[in-house]
Chain A
Amino acid sequence: MLVSNLEFLPDRTVSRHLGLVQGSSVRSKHVGRDIAATFKNVFGGELRGYTELLQDSREEATARMLEQARSLGANAVLNIRYSTSSIAAGAAEIFVYGTAVELAE
């Protein structure tokens, strides 16, 4: 499965548009991580736990989107966008969407 946030491939043609595909994931961290983050908040620096959490969450959302694309018979998803929103204290929603297409061989 080809995944790209460009709108086209210069040397391939799209034989079929299969419509919008999307995936989302909402995650939050366990209390221990939050306590560690509170300490870090005094001293500054990177919150490694959150970096990984959001990354995992993005991977999961992307995997769901790709699953949907595969079920439509797509072999590429183009023009991908990520969108992130903080929905509650400690929880964030990751949303990813793109256009599923079939590229000609």
Chain B
Amino acid sequence: MMVEAGLFVLLLLAGYGFGQLAERRHYRRLIARERETNALPAIASRRPPTDRPYAQHLVSGNAVISSDYFKSFMAGLINVFGGRVTPYESLIDRARREALLRMKDEAKARGAAYVFNVKFETLRVAVGRVGAMEVLAYGTALVPGETPGAPVPLAPLAASTLPA
């Protein structure tokens, strides 16, 4: 009983310490990379601009971000009383921003001027007691100058562009 309680407290502390550290670091990276990709707008409109010819390429990015022990515990606690589950709000926010950035990285590598018709997909990844969220962001990169509609090989989806 004592051992179990001790282990629980240890996991909670480890989750809080490492989880918060990982989250803070991730947010710092996100903010820096968002600043770098600011020049490439991701647009939710379905109507592409017609000012000049653009080639279209499907681009996408995804990220699976795991919860930590502390977040899971807090979410369970909040669930009892109801209200905003802030530990999970930041989790999904991170996954969404990361996915969008990876999509933009792929578009940037292709020399795109815009990404149009951006869509998000969210999936709960559940393995046993593992709680994690996957977010997929995809859209159509518009590359100016290329022959419009020229056949292109399907892009390898950004596997190699995952940051270390």
Question: Taking beta carbons and an 8 Å cutoff, which residues of A are in contact with B?
Answer: 1-7, 9-12, 29, 34, 37-38, 40-48, 50-52, 54-56, 58-59, 62-63, 66, 75-76, 80-86, 89-90, 92, 103
Contact = CB atoms under 8 A, between A and B. Distances in A.
Interface residues of B, number: 59
Contacts of B67: 41, 44
B119 A5 contact: yes
**Which 6 pairs across A and B sit closest by C-beta, in order of nearness?**
A44-B68, A44-B19, A43-B18, A50-B64, A4-B56, A10-B50
Contact of A48 (B150, B154, B162): B162
Interface stretch (B34-42, B75-83, B122-130): B122-130
A50 B53 contact: no
B11 interface: yes
Interface of B: 11, 14-15, 18-19, 22-23, 26, 46, 48-50, 53-54, 56-58, 60, 62-69, 71-72, 98, 116-117, 119, 121, 123-132, 134, 136, 138-140, 148-152, 154, 156-159, 162
Among A45, A59, A81: residue with most chain B CB under 10 A: A45
Among B117, B119, B123: residue with most chain A CB under 10 A: B123
B134 A11 contact: no
28 contacts: A4-B56, A4-B140, A5-B138, A5-B140, A9-B56, A12-B149, A34-B127, A37-B66, A41-B132, A42-B69, A44-B65, A44-B66, A45-B65, A45-B66, A46-B65, A46-B98, A47-B66, A48-B162, A50-B125, A50-B134, A51-B162, A52-B159, A54-B136, A58-B136, A62-B154, A75-B151, A84-B136, A86-B125
